[in-house]
């Protein structure tokens, strides 16, 4: 992998040992070739055991770095390009941390012409798709975490993810041919991205209230530790949007992981008096483009 040429920033070494268990990993032997790291990253990861994450569904490569009595780190790399996400993710993690909401801490970052890199300090705990907590406890943590995020002042959030902005990006991704049509939800398999985009444009809902949303509020992206909310991960799509951006994907994830019967308890805990199924359908359709 080509060495990234432009180094952007590095932060202090992590202090407290942290760990998490929401990855499916394979340990890499010392003989396994590692990517050629940007120079400033090398002392930060010296002495760590490398593990490759096999669970993530993104286009990036993810490595978990472990060492005795040291924090677990997450090393992420992606091909640089018009639709790469690490610049967005780093900016959003910095902003979210400034609001005292738990999330991975950016230890180092490097953005270049060919490759982008992020080195993160892992969040403690287990994701809600992997936890042994009861479904009731899971939906309480999920609903309360989203309420906390949605309560932030949108005037202080510089990231615009309103419908018009997201549709424009969906159109650009469709025209660029980067949509993985084999990854569509089961009910949409066999259709083209262009076909789905036409459907998306025909069903744009009326604008509603605006809140700070996570953007991909599925159970694997919410972390718990000892039965309490521990942090958000995969925050590259965080931004100001309709709360249904999160509600829709949360409900879809609940159905997949816990069962349809837990959707209404989640909505009740969140405080939604009247569900809008058409908005939920729209935001699930919009998610096919990302």
Active site residue 144: no
Question: pLDDT tens-digit profile of 80-110?
Answer: 999 999 999 999 999 999 999 999 999 999 9
Residue ranges per structural domain of the chain: 7-121, 126-287
Q: In terms of CATH architecture, what is 7-121?
A: 2-Layer Sandwich (3.30)
Domain 126-287 has CATH 3.40.720.10: no
Specify the 3-state DSSP secondary structure of 240.
Answer: strand
Question: pLDDT tens-digit profile of 31-69?
Answer: 455 788 999 999 999 999 999 876 554 567 999 999 999
Q: Could you tell me which of 41, 59, 58 has the C-alpha nearest to residue 50? A: 41
- Residue 10's beta-bridge partner residues? 108
- Residue 62's beta-bridge partner residues? 76
Q: Could you tell me which of 85, 82, 86 has the C-alpha nearest to residue 109? A: 86
Residues 6 or more apart whose Cβ sits within 8 Å of residue 145: 222, 229, 232
Sign of CA dihedral 73, 213, 150, 255: negative
| 14/288: higher pLDDT | 288
Tell me which of 53, 127, 216, 246 is the catalytic residue.
216
Residues 6 or more apart whose Cβ sits within 8 Å of residue 190: none
């Amino acid at each position: 992998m080509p060495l990234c040429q432009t180094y952007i920033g590095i932060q202090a070494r992590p202090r407290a040992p942290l760990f998490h268990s929401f990855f499916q990993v394979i340990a890499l032997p010392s003989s396994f070739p590692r990517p050629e790291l940007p120079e400033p990253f090398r002392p930060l990861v010296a002495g760590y055991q490398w593990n490759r994450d096999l669970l993530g569904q993104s286009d990036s490569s993810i490595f978990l770095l472990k060492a005795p009595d040291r924090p677990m780190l997450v090393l992420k790399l992606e091909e640089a390009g018009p639709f790469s996400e690490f610049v967005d993710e780093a900016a959003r993690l910095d902003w979210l941390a400034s609001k005292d909401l738990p999330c991975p801490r950016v230890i180092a970052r490097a953005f270049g012409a060919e490759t982008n890199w992020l080195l993160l300090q892992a969040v403690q705990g287990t994701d809600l798709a992997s936890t042994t907590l009861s479904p009731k406890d899971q939906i309480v943590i999920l609903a309360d975490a989203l309420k906390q995020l949605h309560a932030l002042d949108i005037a202080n959030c510089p990231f615009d993810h309103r419908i018009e902005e997201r549709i424009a990006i969906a159109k650009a991704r469709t025209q660029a041919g980067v949509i993985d049509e084999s990854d569509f939800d089961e009910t949409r398999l066999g259709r083209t991205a262009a076909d789905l985009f036409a459907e998306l444009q025909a069903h744009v809902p009326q604008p509603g209230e605006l809140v700070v949303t996570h953007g991909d509020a599925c159970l694997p992206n919410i972390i718990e530790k000892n039965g309490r909310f521990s942090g958000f991960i995969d925050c590259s799509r965080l931004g100001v949007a309709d709360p249904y951006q999160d509600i829709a994907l949360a409900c879809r994830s609940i159905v997949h992981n816990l069962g349809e019967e837990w959707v209404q308890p989640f909505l009740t805990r969140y405080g939604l008096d009247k569900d809008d199924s058409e908005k939920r359908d729209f935001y699930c359709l919009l998610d096919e483009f990302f």
